[in-house]
Amino acid sequence: MTDVVVQGLSKSFGSNQVLKAMDLRVPSRQFVTLLGPSGCGKTTLLRMIAGLEKATAGEIRFGDRRVDTLPPGERNIAMVFQSYALYPTMDVARNIGYGLEVRGTPKAEKQEKVGAVAKVLEILHLLTRKPKQLSGGQRQRVALGRAMVRRPDIFLMDEPLSNLDAKLRATMRGELRRFHLDLGTTTIYVTHDQLEAMTMSDLVVVMNEGVVQQIGTPEEVYGKPANLFVAGFIGTPPMNLIPAQFRDGVLTVAGTPLPIALPPGAPADLVLGVRPQDVTIVEPGSPGSIPGKVWIVELIGSERLIEVELAPKLRVTAEVRATHRAAIDDAVAIRPDPAHLHVFDPATGQAINA
Ligand SMILES: Nc1ncnc2c1ncn2[C@@H]1O[C@H](COP(=O)(O)OP(=O)(O)OP(=O)(O)O)[C@@H](O)[C@H]1O
Ligand SMILES: [Mg+2]
């Protein structure tokens, strides 16, 4: 039973404050993902939890035990580094098994464990090779294997699938998820790939510029984004964020009044969020629609993205069936689904909930 608690954690490198009084609780046995853009502080936070980086302020606890004063070796964590440093002179099997070797695990048991994770990671045929004879994606799986043979209290994984091709990444997502369900070891997983975060996690921690933006289940961060950053970051294609006015109980977008009720606290100027999947293309003049002109059309497999210009510099993307016909400059209208609208205060960026 190891939950990880981070309290008021700050980290500065010189004058650059990378983590800003961060509070976070990772419940025992859960798979929690740190998701955020490059440079937002994910690796720094993970390295601090591992003990490889000292906090400027704040504390870290595993259960009741304060750990930020302990050296890494006393924290019983296994970490997969973003820059999967392998031992260059050891072959793959020894790289994977090294952590067991130094703990005095009997040889047969070690071989069995190494074989089992190598099979899962599809690198069984590489066991006698040296790291320099491997591709980036193969090295990355060796690094992952080295953590997976251990039975730590906590797994810390920093983008462990980033160098794999799309197909292998999808397979490994499933394998890691199964691995976690089987062992139930508390896992903190860093990625900037939202598909990984959404498919693998019990909880997603969305970060930006060293600040936690929202913590929630994948459904929560997708369905109820807490602010404009989360709204724009989660979801592909990104959520449309449309400036709108709300006067005397009437909502107006690009000069067109819409028969949509807003929560009482909605400000006079607001941002309306609607996902491309919740926008339909209709005939101009249809009820509840906003007229515009087709700006660009993109086929993305079974769907088509239609970007409609409502006013100069104001475009909204609709995701429709690929069979939907639309040509550039066609006069159309968009209809946002009133049941799936998000309202934000542009002054604070925060969502306004009904
Ligand atoms: N040792 C260091 N010295 C100085 N600045 C650092 C150091 N390590 C990280 N930084 C800075 O801290 C910020 C956060 O870096 P970090 O590596 O945590 O980002 P990240 O979220 O993991 O990004 P990525 O997705 O690109 O891996 C960056 O601005 C980075 O330049
Ligand atoms: Mg990183």
What pLDDT does residue 165 have? 92
**The sheet that has 4-13: what strands, in order across it?**
16-26, 4-13, 57-62, 65-66
Q: How far is the CA of 8 from the centre of ligand 1 (A)?
A: 19
Q: Residue 122, exposed/middle/buried by CB under 10 A (0-12, 13-18, 19+)?
A: middle
Report residue 315 as tokens. 């475009």
Task: Examine the domain organization and report whether 83 and 45 are in the same domain.
Answer: yes
The pLDDT value given to residue 30: 97
**159 and 253: one domain?**
no
Residue 354 included in any domain: no
Residue 217 sits in the same domain as residue 242: no
Name the DSSP class of 40.
S
Cβ-Cβ contacts under 8 Å for 275 (sequence gap 6 or more):
235, 239, 240, 340
* Residue 320 structural domain: 236-344
Distance 230 CA to ligand 1 centre (A): 20
Measuring CA to CA, which residue among 64, 48, 43 is closest to residue 8? 48
Instruction: State which H helix or E strand residue 42 sits in.
Output: helix 42-50
Say how many residues make up the chain.
Answer: 354
Residue 82 is predicted with a pLDDT of 83
- Regarding whether 243 and 224 lie in a shared domain, the answer is no
> Do 242 and 224 belong together in one domain?
no
Three-class DSSP category at 316: strand
Q: End-to-end alpha-carbon separation of the chain, Å? A: 38
Which residues sit opposite 271 in a β-bridge?
A: 243, 344
Q: Residue 353 falls within a domain, yes or no?
A: no
**Which residues of the chain are under the pLDDT cut of 70?**
1, 354
| Distance of CA 38 from the midpoint of ligand 2 (Å) | 7
Q: Which of 209, 228, 247 is the last residue of a domain?
A: 228
Whether residues 210 and 107 share a domain: the answer is yes
Q: Residue 216's pLDDT is what?
A: 97
Residue 101: what pLDDT?
Answer: 93
Residue 52's pLDDT is: 94
Final residue in a domain of this structure, among 203, 228, 253 = 228
Domain presence at residue 350: no
Nearest CA to ligand 1 atom 26: 38
- Cα(192) to centroid of ligand 2, in Å? 9
- Assigned domain for 349 exists: no
Q: Is residue 48 part of a domain?
A: yes
Nearest CA to ligand 1 atom 29: 39
Q: In the structure encoding, which two tokens stand for residue 217, read together? A: 């289940």
| pLDDT score of 233 | 96
Residues 207 and 242 in one domain: no
Shared domain for 64 and 108, answered yes or no, is yes
Flag whether 268 is in a domain. Answer: yes
Residue 326: CATH number of its domain = 2.40.50.140
Of ligand 1's atoms, which has the minimum distance to the CA of residue 190? 22
Q: Is the pTM of this model over 0.85?
A: yes
If you take atom 12 of ligand 1, which residue's CA is the nearest one?
18
Determine the pLDDT at residue 1.
Answer: 64
Type of residue at 273: G
Q: Are residues 46 and 109 in the same domain?
A: yes
Residues 297 and 149 grouped into a single domain: no
**Among 180, 211, 228, where does a domain finish?**
228
Query: What is the residue with the minimal CA distance to atom 10 of ligand 1?
Result: 13
Q: Which atom of ligand 1 is nearest to the CA of 210?
A: 14
Give me the CATH number covering residue 65: 3.40.50.300
pLDDT 10s digits, 19-38:
999 999 999 999 999 999 99
Residue whose C-alpha is closest to residue 116's, from 103, 97, 135:
97
Cα–ligand 1 centroid distance for 78 (angstroms): 21
Identify the helix (H) or strand (E) that includes residue 112. Answer: helix 107-120
Helices (H), the chain: 42-50, 92-102, 107-120, 136-148, 166-183, 194-200, 218-223, 228-233
Query: What is the count of structural domains for the chain?
Result: 2
Same domain, 173 and 317: no
Give per-residue pLDDT as tens, 175-218: 999 999 999 999 999 998 999 999 999 999 999 999 999 999 99
Residues 217 and 279 in one domain: no
